[in-house]
Chains A and B, each alone.
Chain A
Amino acid sequence: MTNPAFERIEADIKANPVVLFMKGTPVFPQCGFSARVVQILSHLGVPFKGVNVLDDMEIRDGIKAYTNWPTIPQLYVNGEFVGGCDIVMEMFQAGELQSLLKEKGVPVSAEG
């Protein structure tokens, strides 16, 4: 592990059950794709940590390399990569995101 960002990313995804690497903040997303994932998580009442990659070039490049995924946003649940905007949306629409969160013991306050 040579990338200095990896340690910080791992610390974040270990300390928080749900982490969204995104552009902007959960309150003020600065990209439509990030905004959509925030909307879904908020709709389900899922507590999550938003990491604003625009604030931090090291994380912005680092998360792409860490996940081996070329785009932002990226959703992690219990340290595991779930997907980006398309996959999270498809899973939400199929009810799979809700099942995954429950399986992983993440509180979901709304069924969606």
Chain B
Amino acid sequence: MQTRSERIRLALEAAFAPARVEVRDDSGQHAGHAGARPEGETHFSVLAVSPAFAGLSRLARSRAAHAALEAEFGGGLHALSLRLLTPEEAGQG
């Protein structure tokens, strides 16, 4: 079975064809507090670098990522830290 990390990565790859994508499961740091589940997979951090973010505001980039991950938010994803950069901003342009 795929982990949520893997599903997040696949969804972001499908939506943004990123040059780089990193997904980190931070759930362990939040164990026991509101929103955490015993089975984990609630808190994630994402770094994605894609030309698709060019010309989009911070809000628009986040909204696009939220939309790509709607199924995850509907299925227990509780917190998502997003760093969404263009290749230029990431110094990779």
Q: Which residues of A contact B (CB under 8 A)?
A: 23, 30-33, 54, 68-71, 81, 83-87, 90-91
Contacts and interface: CB of A to CB of B under 8 A. Distances in A.
B63 A83 contact: no
Interface centre among A70, A85, A91 (most CB of B within 10 A): A70
Contact of A87 (B59, B77, B79): B59
Interface string B2-19: 000000000000000000
A60 to B, nearest CB: 10
* Count class of interface residues, chain B: 10 to 19
Name A's interface SS: mixed
B92 to A, nearest CB: 18
Interface string B35-63: 10000000000000000000000110011
Given A83-B59, A86-B62, A87-B62, A33 B34 contact: no
A31 B35 CA distance: 10
B58 A90 contact: yes
Q: Return the 9 tightest CB-CB contacts between A and B, nearest first.
A: A70-B73, A87-B58, A86-B82, A70-B66, A86-B81, A71-B79, A83-B59, A83-B58, A90-B58
A70 B81 CA distance: 12
Nearest to A81: B59
A69 B62 CA distance: 9
B34 A83 contact: no
A23 to B, nearest CB: 7
B44 to A, nearest CB: 11
17 contacts: A23-B34, A30-B33, A31-B35, A33-B81, A54-B34, A68-B63, A70-B73, A70-B77, A71-B79, A71-B80, A81-B59, A83-B59, A85-B81, A86-B81, A86-B82, A87-B59, A90-B58
B24 interface: no
B64 to A, nearest CB: 12
B20 interface: no
